[in-house]
Amino acid sequence: MDSSVIGTALLFLTGLFSYQGFRRSEYFEQYLFEVDKILVDRQYYRLLSNAFLHGSWLHFGFNMIALLSFSWSLEILFGYGTFAIFYFGCLLGASLLSLYIHRQHGDYRMVGASGAISGVIFAAVVLFPEQPISFVLLPLEIPSWIMAIAFVAISILGIKKQAAYIAHEAHLGGALTGVFLTLLLRPAESLENWWIVMAILLPSLFFLLLIIRNPAVLLIEDYWGEWRRSRPAPRTAPRVVRRSREEELNQLLEKIKAVGVERLSEAEKQRLEQLTKEI
């Protein structure tokens, strides 16, 4: 592994902050990412400070190995100062997407540098798509572009399923920010590999547009929008009831799409849950 100046500096800085967080719970609580603390109390520094805390030394170790594995080549291409700005830009993008996805979950919390590091990795993928990527403790190498496409798919499904303990929103937000910043900083080299840029951006942006236009996609399991409606039922007595339930569900989904799930009454939320189980 070649020497990475900014990567090494980030390692020591993150290690120092993480150590303080391990030792002092009040320090950990003061700097982690928490939705209400950011949106209600306006503690915006948490959008950045959360990346310098970790849940464990193992969490810290895996993140730092990934950072040092990819940062050296980008420091050479971008320059040290630009790479440092790039890193914090990816970190901010990761936190902002997490904040948007979890804006209604006031107690949502996260820590870790993986969002920013996702941006670093995806910048390297855009610039060097055929470079093999190996996995710690596994004797396996795959081209980086395959890893990137799989990563995007896993992140989208993880966000959709609201998977616990893994900040898929931060991973995707950091990765997309890394791609956009790479296009801005090194446009010629990036566009030489336009196919991998499109393979990353198209599904990601389609998914983000989908959940912006229809927040119910994140609320209801196995629901991906209006195009997934069931076929119209034949006009028989038992199916008339089923069709009326579908119409009632569609009315609730349209209301969510128009004003957001937070504007539903408690009775409507309970009815929505009941209908999704019945249909």
Whole-number Å distance between alpha carbons of 11 and 65 = 9
Question: Both 138 and 185 in a single domain?
Answer: yes
Tokens representing residue 230 in the block: 């069931």
Q: What CATH number is attached to the domain comprising 160?
A: 1.20.1540.10
Whole-number Å distance between alpha carbons of 143 and 128 = 9
Question: Both 156 and 257 in a single domain?
Answer: no
Question: Which of 213, 239, 269 is the C-terminal boundary of a domain?
Answer: 213
Whole-number Å distance between alpha carbons of 206 and 189 = 25
pLDDT for res 250: 74
pLDDT for res 141: 78
Question: Which of 180, 213, 246 is the C-terminal boundary of a domain?
Answer: 213
The domain tally of the chain equals: 2
Question: Both 154 and 263 in a single domain?
Answer: no
Question: Both 239 and 201 in a single domain?
Answer: no
Question: Both 229 and 133 in a single domain?
Answer: no
Q: Tell me the chain's radius of gyration from C-alpha atoms.
A: 22
pLDDT for res 218: 84
Tokens representing residue 169 in the block: 């929103």
Question: Both 250 and 127 in a single domain?
Answer: no
Question: Which of 195, 213, 231 is the C-terminal boundary of a domain?
Answer: 213
pLDDT for res 240: 42
pLDDT for res 138: 58
Q: Which range of residues forms the domain containing residue 30?
A: 5-213
pLDDT for res 278: 65
Q: b/e for 191-224, b at 16 or more Cβ within 10 A? A: eebeebbebbeeebeebbebbeebbbbbbbeebe
Question: Both 169 and 241 in a single domain?
Answer: no
Question: Both 166 and 52 in a single domain?
Answer: yes
Low-confidence ranges of the chain (pLDDT < 70): 1-2, 135-139, 163-164, 226-245, 257-259, 261-264, 266-267, 275, 277-279
Question: Both 134 and 71 in a single domain?
Answer: yes
Tokens representing residue 10 in the block: 């980030």
